[in-house]
A and B are shown apart, each in its own frame.
Chain A
Amino acid sequence: MSDRVAIVGVGMSKFGELWEKSLREITLEAGMYAIFDADVQGKEIDAISIGNMSAGRFTGQEHLGALAVDMGGLGNIPAYSVEAACASGGAAVRQAYMSIKSGEHDVMLVLGCEKMSDVSQSEAMDTISVASDMDWEGMFGATFPALYAFIARRHMMEYGTTDEQMGKVAVKNHYNAQFNPWAQFQRALPLKVVMNSGMLADPIRVLHSSPITDGAAGLVMCSEERAKEFTDNPVFVDASTQATASLALHDRKDICTMDSVVLSSRRALERANLSIEDIDVFELHDSFTISEIVLTEDVGLAKKGEGGKLVDEGITELKGEFPVNTSGGLKARGHPIGATGVAQIVELALQLRGDAEKRQVEGAEKAMAVNIGGTGATSIVHILGR
């Protein structure tokens, strides 16, 4: 059994609407960059884990494990394709973590991918809804943004969270994305523009929502013993945890709290023997800006109801005390669903290595990623350290 699991290589495809590229091309691109970054030979990789939500509906292709091995020219190694809606990427990372930790595999390539722009906007919207309870939410006209609007409206009523605070999260994440060469939107977004953007599902505005994105991300993970063969600057997984809550949002006693996030983040901190104040940089799943606000509360950065205030005080800004979504987050880096959870880890590994360039959080030693599926039915938390 391996003591610790290391991340020795990271890679990303460009994120955006990549008309000229197919699912297999972007997935290969991210994997190759991760392999080059790790300087690992193909023959040393003994398995792949790949996260994806809905390639079958977005592109017509399933069986992505075999596809990834084949496209990468990796011969006959096993490949595990995992799905947990928007948390599919995090699930792929966790799958590799468990495989290496158990001793079953030594060196793994982890991939996450989604190609969303091959279908119309309305088909994409339809497909995104599969992350919710289709029979009892989707069928009655509750779109995915509407479900987050349910949360936002309650949060506004119970805690006084404002349209402006939800807007400021978008502004912050766009600011950070300017310094991320892989981000879909590498430009600032004025608050006034966010606050004047149209309603998608009141009170959620168009510019509170993450976009439709094509993209893939990759990691090379291995046991601690093997890590020194590839790098003298490894990053370690200090904890990997996962928890579940009801599939339908209406079955939760308090829709403003994601119990899955509370449980998985608490457990991760316990395993890593850390408290939330020890974490230097965060990637929190901001599919809508209200979800970043809720997640800052549920991981314990703010008291319940005070996530909006946290944004007002600038605490989660790049130069703040607890920077959140230095990559630009789902909002501005982009949200290729199955790639997101892997892209979060790519960003945090770069931060811990000191390779995040203009968005570097100085001296970052501990980092946390929270990747959620649906409206928080799945939560996957990773804590990384040096």
Chain B
Amino acid sequence: MAEKGVAQVWRRFDSIYNLIGTHCSNCGTYYFPPRLVCPKCRRKGKLEEYKYKGLGKIHTFSIVRQAPENFKRQVPYVVAQVQLDEGPRLTAQIVNIDPEDVKIGMRVRVCFRKITEYGEGGIIVYGYKFEPTMIVTGHE
């Protein structure tokens, strides 16, 4: 990441901590990450904040074995596209599961974790990752 300042992350805390995206009340589309313009409606769009429930399923994933400096210590880790129940997809790590057991279609829910440490001062960034719901509920 471009890496120089804490403000780069701080200004996105609402989304990164609380999964707040946007919803266009003109066309009904949900967006995450939040958008400043609704691509479907453009100037007619009415975007308002929306807090996602944090439930979804894995659309696709990879097990990262070689990572840049900021993520080296977490290797191997699973990163995935999660399809949120409201519609949009986001990119996040999957935790609390053996990487070999991750599957497309698996139900997941959001959890709050340390994402990375970066920069000379070792600034720690917290934010969303996802974990399988079956770990919590005991079934799929």
Residues of chain B at interface, number, CB under 8 A: 35
Report the contact-size class of chain A (Cβ under 8 Å from the partner): 35 or more
Contact in complex: B104, A157 (CB < 8 Å): yes
The answer to whether B91 touches A140, judged by C-beta atoms less than 8 angstroms apart, is yes
Q: Is the CB of A250 within 8 A of B63?
A: no
A153 to B65, CA, bound (A): 16
Among A114-153, those with CB < 8 Å from B are 122-123, 125-126, 129-130, 134-143, 145-146, 149-151, 153
Given contacts A138-B1, A141-B74, A200 and B81 within 8 Å (CB-CB): no
Instruction: Check B69 against A122 for contact (C-beta < 8 Å).
Output: yes
Per the 8 Å Cβ criterion, residues 239-255 of A in contact with B are 248-251, 255
Interface of B is mostly: strand
> Is residue B12 contacting chain A, with contact meaning CB distance below 8 A?
yes
Q: Are B63 and A136 in contact (CB under 8 A)?
A: no
Name A136-181 residues within 8 Å CB distance of B: 136-143, 145-146, 149-151, 153-154, 157
CA distance A126 to B70 in the complex (A): 9
Shortest distance from the beta carbon of A161 to any chain B beta carbon, whole Å: 13
Tell whether, in the assembled complex, residue B79 and residue A140 are in contact, meaning their CB atoms are under 8 Å apart.
Answer: yes
How far apart sit A200 and B63, CA to CA, in the bound complex (Å)?
8
Q: Which residues of A contact B62 (CB under 8 A)?
A: 142, 145-146, 149-150, 153, 201-204
List residues of A whose CB falls within 8 A of some B CB. Answer: 122-123, 125-126, 129-130, 134-143, 145-146, 149-151, 153-154, 157, 198-204, 248-251, 255
Task: Please state if A198 and B60 are interface contacts (CB–CB under 8 Å).
Answer: no
Q: Does B132 contact A (CB under 8 A)?
A: no
B45 at the interface (CB under 8 A from A): no
Q: Which residue of A lies closest to B15 (CB)?
A: A136
Pick the contact of A143 from B2, B33, B66 — CB < 8 Å? Answer: B66
Chain A positions within 8 Å of B69 at CB level = 122-123, 126
